[in-house]
């Protein structure tokens, strides 16, 4: 099993890695995306789910971490 797999905890709105490292979503900077990028992220997420590397590969200049952070912050609203 992957030792760096991340899971979202519903109650705390944070990301926890298996190495007990917790990152609060409140500490993250907002990821600004233009409308085209946001639409693409939403459409890709419907198709492939939480495969952030795959989604980021379709948006030049974006990392998987930025895409995941954008998605988590968007769904918390």
Tell me the pLDDT tens digit for each residue of 42-74: 999 999 999 999 999 999 999 999 999 999 988
Average pLDDT, the chain: 76
Q: Identify the pLDDT of residue 52.
A: 96
Q: Identify the pLDDT of residue 76.
A: 76
- Alpha carbons within 13 angstroms on the beta-carbon side of residue 43 total 8
Q: Identify the pLDDT of residue 59.
A: 94
pLDDT average, residue stretch 4-27: 47
> Largest alpha-carbon pair distance within the chain?
36
């Amino acid at each position: 099993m992957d030792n760096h797999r991340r899971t979202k905890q519903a109650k705390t709105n944070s990301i926890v890695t298996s190495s007990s490292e917790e990152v609060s979503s409140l500490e993250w900077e907002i990821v600004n995306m233009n409308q085209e990028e946001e639409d693409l992220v939403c459409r890709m997420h419907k198709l492939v789910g939480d495969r952030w590397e795959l989604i980021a590969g379709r948006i030049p200049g974006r990392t998987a971490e930025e895409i995941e952070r954008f998605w988590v912050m968007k769904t918390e609203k």
